[in-house]
Amino acid sequence: MKNTRSAKREAAGTLFPHGGNAPISRQGNPAVGSSRGQLAFEFMLIYSFFITVFVAALFVVSQRSAEQQLYAEGVFAKEVAMRFSDEIKIASSILGYEKNYSFPRTMRSVPYGVRVSNGLLELNYSTGREIDIVYPIATSDVVLNGIDTSASSSSFDTAKGWAVIRNVNGRVVITQ
């Protein structure tokens, strides 16, 4: 027994459900064309989502990298200030001490300044924002380039990259 539909088609002389003798092309079927369009739209939607997630992840990573770089610069600047302060401390404790002290000329290719006043060493530089680091000195009896820093502040030229630190009669004298 044949299916009644196929029997009716054979009797009518048609082999296809639409009643014709030839199949309908895909272009003629609106259901097939719209599923292609829907598939392309869904692909673009998913693609856009993953691109957005990727860009957001890159942004977060770059922010963290910038934070780490600022932190590393701060640590380096603190280390420079600490070493300079330690050198002054050593000079203040040994009569007749003299040393040619060298230090970096720049902080990551950025010039910086060092100021000494009232027992404090201040290091400042700018990398898009001003950064000041204050570090205590063991003695306030420091003469920097002929200026007594216990009475007023004095700074020196870090671009030279060196200074001579001496203990003259119990007083730390720094010259360039």
Count: domains in the chain? 1
Residue 76 lies in a domain: yes
Helix (H) or strand (E) holding 171: strand 171-175
User: Can you tell me which residue has the tokens 């002929």?
Assistant: 146
How far apart, in whole angstroms, are the C-alpha atoms of residue 59 and residue 116? 41
Q: Which domain holds residue 81?
A: 65-175
Identify the residue with better confidence: 138 or 25.
138
Residue 126 lies in a domain: yes
Tell me what pLDDT residue 51 has. Answer: 96
Yes or no: say if 97 and 165 are a contact pair by the CB < 8 Å rule: yes
Tell me what pLDDT residue 87 has. Answer: 92
pTM greater than 0.75: no
> Which residues does 39 contact at the CB level (< 8 Å), separation at least 6?
none
Residue 22 lies in a domain: no
Which of 174, 169, 170, 122 lies closest to 147 in space, CA to CA?
174
CA distances from 163 to 58, 96, 116, 172, 173 (A): 44, 16, 14, 12, 10
Residue 147 lies in a domain: yes
Mean local confidence (pLDDT), 53-57 = 96
Residue 118 lies in a domain: yes
Residue 142 lies in a domain: yes
pLDDT tens figures, 96-109: 999 999 988 888 78
CA distances from 169 to 7, 45, 141, 166 (A): 124, 79, 11, 10
Q: Give the three-class secondary structure for 135.
A: strand
Residue 84 lies in a domain: yes
Residue 18 lies in a domain: no
pLDDT tens figures, 67-115: 898 888 888 889 999 999 999 999 989 899 999 999 888 887 888 888 8
State the burial class of residue 92 (Cβ atoms within 10 Å of its Cβ: 0-12, 13-18, 19+): buried
